[in-house]
Amino acid sequence: MEKIKNFLKAETVLVISFLLAVISVFFKRPSMEYAGYIDFRTLSLLFCLMVVTSELNSLGVFSEIAEALLAKANSYRQLTILLVCLCFFSSMIITNDVALITFVPFSITLFQMANLEKKLVSLIVLETIAANLGSMFTPLGNPQNLYLYGLSGMTMKEFLLLMLKPTLVAFILLMIGCFLQSGKDVELSQLDTGNSKKQVANRKGKLSFSIVLFFICLLSVFRVVSYEVPFAVAVLGSILIDRKILKKPDYSLLFTFVFFFIFIGNMKHLESVCALLENMLRGRELITSFLCSQIISNVPAAVLLSGFTGDFEKLILGVNIGGLGTLIASMASLISYKLFVANCPEEKGRYFGVFTGANLVFAVVLLGGCLAF
């Protein structure tokens, strides 16, 4: 029973999506039509990107880059700006989850060694916001973007132009937040975080495989090659190089997508329900998707609402800004929260307060800007 309770607590969204899919089966009996509900392109690309980023992370590539960039930082403010920028810009390519999994533990170790523990709350909050907002700029940045980009049929240029203004505003707000920080000078040149040059068997082969797979994924995102190509490379390459790689993707997220696809597909056969949801969303996509994200998080909100609106631009903006707000609005936020609390349990209350306040400020500014323009 304890294991079941822990699973339900850890995978609440997965369980909810499964129950919704099961309930929807009573309205539309299972058939071959179900296969048409599922967006295999999104699932395949998401799986491949998970393989790439988790492998590069395990090889210590991102930590090595971080150490190289931080080598000349000599003040708390410089250190904060560099770490926040690392999360902001890296999340555009390696996703917000991976950026936080990589740089939050790195930051905690760095600050503890530099005797800056009291500054960790504000840093981790800024890093979390940076990862969530930096990731909204590209289709690769997070799962909801990858899904909505493919579904909308937008070109890469159209997507980037849509997200350019809110991303620039987000970056300016983050820099203001960084410049408001103050602290003692620090000397980082002698600090050893233990991340440099990880010695991994067959490191060169794994690194080459990850880089090649990433570029094939990019070609698929740009619709140059079919999604089957990177999927085949990811599976076959993992089997040949290291089968353990296949354990690294977040399968619970992938199955959450599948269950929501089934639920939405079945609900579309109920004209009354479909009409009701479409009327609720029409003209209110931005606010509705933002509010929905606060309750079930922005990835399932994107999948759920996408079946009942054609205004993908507002939906994309809404679910990305919707990553701000509550702690569950973006699952990536839970990652940094758990990592922080594991190291500083006595600061849990202060972290929650600072996180909520900062997220509300960013959300109000960005939502206000989108509604005004």
* Alpha-carbon span 323 to 302, nearest angstrom: 11
For residue 112, pLDDT over 80 is answered with: yes
How is 11-72 classified by DSSP, letter by letter? THHHHHHHHHHHHHHTTS---TTHHHHS-HHHHHHHHHHHHHHHHHHHTTHHHHHHHHHHTT
pLDDT digits (tens, 9 = 90+) for 127-168: 999 999 999 999 999 999 999 999 999 999 999 999 999 999
Q: What integer is the mean pLDDT of 225-242?
A: 93
Residue 6 lies in a domain: no
Which is more confident, 52 or 117?
A: 52
* pLDDT for 302: 94
Residue 80 lies in a domain: yes
Residue 195 lies in a domain: no
The whole-model pTM stands at 0.87
Instruction: Express as a percent the part of the chain with pLDDT over 90.
Output: 55
Number of domains in the chain: 1
Residue 191 lies in a domain: no
Write a three-state SS string for 67-80: HHHHCCCCEHHHHH
Contact by Cβ (8 Å): 42, 49: no
* pLDDT for 163: 97
Question: 71: domain range?
Answer: 13-186+200-372
Query: How big is the chain, counted in residues?
Result: 373
47 alpha-carbon distance from chain centroid: 14
Residue 194 lies in a domain: no
Residue 8 lies in a domain: no
* Alpha-carbon span 180 to 198, nearest angstrom: 35
Residue 7 lies in a domain: no
* pLDDT for 186: 59
Residue 119 lies in a domain: yes
Which is more confident, 162 or 295?
A: 162
